[in-house]
Amino acid sequence: MATDTFTNAVADIAEVFMFEQWLRHYFVVEKDGKLFIEIPHEDLKEIYAQQEHLGGLADMFNNSEISYEMCQATVCSFVGARYDGSKYGADVVARALDSKAFKVEMYVFGVWMKGHEQYLDARRLPFSEWREMYAGWNGMAEVKEYRKKLMAGGGNPNEPASKSVH
């Protein structure tokens, strides 16, 4: 049961990070040398209709200047408010964020994005399509084997990679 909870927490948190990547992929605009996320009203309505649980994150980013630090703080704030101590126990989110399983998930997602960049750039795809494509790609034998090798790189993926307190 605890492993299921941990696995679900990793999946939920990874989804938030993936959604943030999707937002930045399609809704970033440059103004006066600064980057902003601007989500048109119709697209925001669609986000709420398809991913209501992530709509609040879209709202947090919408019409805001972004930087690496701001994106990281916003995503972590969203994850903390939605999952830490409410959906999951007090230490589950911190352990998930610091786990090998989460790091491997984010790395593999990055590999998927790079490998599919041309297709993702061709037109704006709904986040649900990103998720379906990623799930299908993850189901490939080569990807499963690659993920297995990454996870076998030492240490328990359910244990924090460091002993730092969050």
Mean of per-residue pLDDT scores for the chain: 91
Domain-embedded: residue 66: yes
The pTM of the whole model exceeds 0.85: yes
Domain count, the chain: 1
- How far, in Å, CA of 69 to CA of 83, rounded? 21
Backbone angles phi and psi of 99, in degrees to 5: -85, 155
Domain-embedded: residue 85: yes
With a CB cutoff of 8 Å and minimum separation 6, the contacts of 161 are 98, 99, 100, 103, 155
Domain of 86, in residue numbers: 2-151
Domain-embedded: residue 143: yes
Domain-embedded: residue 45: yes
Domain-embedded: residue 58: yes
Domain-embedded: residue 79: yes
Domain-embedded: residue 166: no
With a CB cutoff of 8 Å and minimum separation 6, the contacts of 35 are 28, 29, 65, 66, 67
Question: What sign results for the dihedral spanned by CA atoms 65, 117, 48, 82?
Answer: negative
- Six-digit token pair at 117? 């960049």
- How far, in Å, CA of 83 to CA of 90, rounded? 9
Does residue 162 carry a pLDDT above 90?
no
Render pLDDT for 100-141 as a digit per residue (tens, 0 to 9): 999 999 999 999 999 999 999 999 999 999 999 999 999 999
Domain-embedded: residue 164: no
In terms of Cα–Cα distance, which of 164, 156, 124 is closest to 6? 156
Render pLDDT for 14-44 as a digit per residue (tens, 0 to 9): 999 999 999 999 999 999 999 999 999 999 9
